[in-house]
């Protein structure tokens, strides 16, 4: 368990009600980078990315990349989605999920399901701690397409070789005891898998619905709150299949915008919950204010 904490105090846990469910976002960590271009636009001109950054009062080319797992508490079941790097943290400003979980009112033993939207390190690393399952009472859930892709290990991008190694170390030993879901299937009632393929081969989003209220947990569908929304056709440098990811990004963002549901993004600025509006041919991320507190 990584015990590093930010040098400067910042919010780390945010909870709100969605119908009869309680949703929790936890700041698992962050990373400071100096390459907004091409990080969030490998097929874009640097000047265009810089213009959007300046319009949003952001320094260029610097950025902060957040890692924000979510929990869904249905009242009878607790679901953790993508619980972060854990002890596999690759830089000191991450790996905090297990430390902050008690601030949300939960223990590792309370988690009934751990749902992995895709098998990248910041999503699977915390499945194991000190050689043992981090969540001892939880069923681990993978998307079938995603798990099979990494298990076969074919057509893996060169830059994902370390990811494949981590998958073999952490996920593959769980193969016979894990649960696998397809697009459109429920984890529990009200938590449904959504096709967001592209960022990884079987990358999932999850649609949450309770008592008529809706939320899309988008995972890594969009990488940056300004660049990826304004131009969903811009490729994220960490997308395994950039063209397919761009198609999924526009489709998921369109669904969220047109239905006016709330959304959570794993890499959105904490607390990482908001709405999606249409903005010309693209979209805009609208952070939640106080509406979930009322």
Within 10 angstroms of residue 195's Cβ, the number of other Cβ atoms is: 17
Summarised one tens digit per residue, pLDDT across range 103-145 is 999 999 999 999 999 999 999 999 999 999 999 999 999 999 9
Structure tokens at 42: 């490998």
In the chain, pLDDT over 90 holds for what percent of residues?
96
Strands 179-181 and 139-143 turn out to be parallel
Determine the pLDDT at residue 6: 59
| Measured distance CA(83)–CA(98) in Å, rounded | 8
User: Which of 284, 292, 293, 288 shows the shortest CA–CA distance to 52?
Assistant: 284
Q: What is the mean pLDDT of the chain?
A: 96
Please tell me whether residue 44 adopts helix, strand or coil conformation.
coil
Q: What is the pTM of this model?
A: 0.96
Structure tokens at 236: 């994220």
Within 10 angstroms of residue 244's Cβ, the number of other Cβ atoms is: 17
* 156: pLDDT strictly greater than 90: yes
194 with 216: CB under 8 angstroms? yes
Within 10 angstroms of residue 160's Cβ, the number of other Cβ atoms is: 18
Confidence of residue 9 (pLDDT cuts 50, 70, 90): confident
Summarised one tens digit per residue, pLDDT across range 209-231 is 999 999 999 999 999 999 999 99
159 with 122: CB under 8 angstroms? no
Confidence of residue 7 (pLDDT cuts 50, 70, 90): low
The full set of domains in the chain, from first to last, is 13-293 (3.60.15.10)
Question: What average pLDDT score do residues 270-291 get?
Answer: 98
Determine the pLDDT at residue 58: 98
124 with 203: CB under 8 angstroms? no
268 with 225: CB under 8 angstroms? yes
Helix (H) or strand (E) segment spanning residue 267: none
Determine the pLDDT at residue 85: 98
Confidence of residue 39 (pLDDT cuts 50, 70, 90): very high
| Measured distance CA(169)–CA(162) in Å, rounded | 11
Confidence of residue 4 (pLDDT cuts 50, 70, 90): low
User: Which of 69, 70, 84 shows the shortest CA–CA distance to 18?
Assistant: 70
């Amino acid at each position: 368990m990584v015990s590093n904490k930010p040098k400067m105090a910042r919010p780390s846990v945010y909870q709100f009600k969605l119908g009869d469910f309680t949703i929790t976002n936890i700041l698992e960590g962050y990373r400071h980078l100096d390459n907004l271009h091409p990080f969030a636009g490998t097929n874009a001109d640097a000047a265009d990315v810089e213009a959007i950054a300046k319009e949003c009062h952001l320094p260029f080319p610097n950025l902060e990349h957040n890692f924000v797992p979510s929990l869904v508490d249905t009242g009878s079941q607790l679901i953790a989605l993508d619980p972060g790097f854990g002890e596999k943290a690759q830089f000191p400003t991450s790996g905090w999920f297990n430390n902050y979980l008690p601030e949300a009112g939960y223990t590792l033993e309370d988690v009934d399901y751990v749902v992995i939207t895709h098998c990248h390190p910041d999503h699977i690393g915390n499945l194991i701690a000190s050689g043992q399952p981090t969540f001892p009472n939880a069923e681990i859930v993978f998307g079938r397409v995603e798990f099979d892709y990494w298990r076969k290990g074919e057509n893996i991008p060169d830059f994902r070789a370390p990811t494949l190694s981590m998958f073999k170390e952490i996920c593959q030993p769980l193969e016979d005891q894990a649960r696998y879901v397809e697009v459109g299937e429920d984890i529990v009632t009200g938590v449904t898998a959504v096709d967001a393929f592209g960022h990884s081969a079987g990358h999932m989003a999850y649609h949450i619905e309770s008592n008529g209220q809706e939320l899309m947990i988008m995972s890594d569908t969009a990488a940056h709150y300004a660049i990826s929304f304004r131009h969903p056709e811009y490729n994220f440098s960490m997308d395994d299949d950039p063209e397919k990811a761009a198609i999924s990004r526009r489709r998921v963002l369109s669904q969220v915008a047109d239905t006016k549901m709330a959304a959570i993004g794993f890499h959105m600025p904490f607390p990482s919950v908001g709405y999606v509006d249409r903005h010309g041919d693209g979209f805009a991320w609208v952070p939640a204010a106080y509406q979930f507190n009322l």
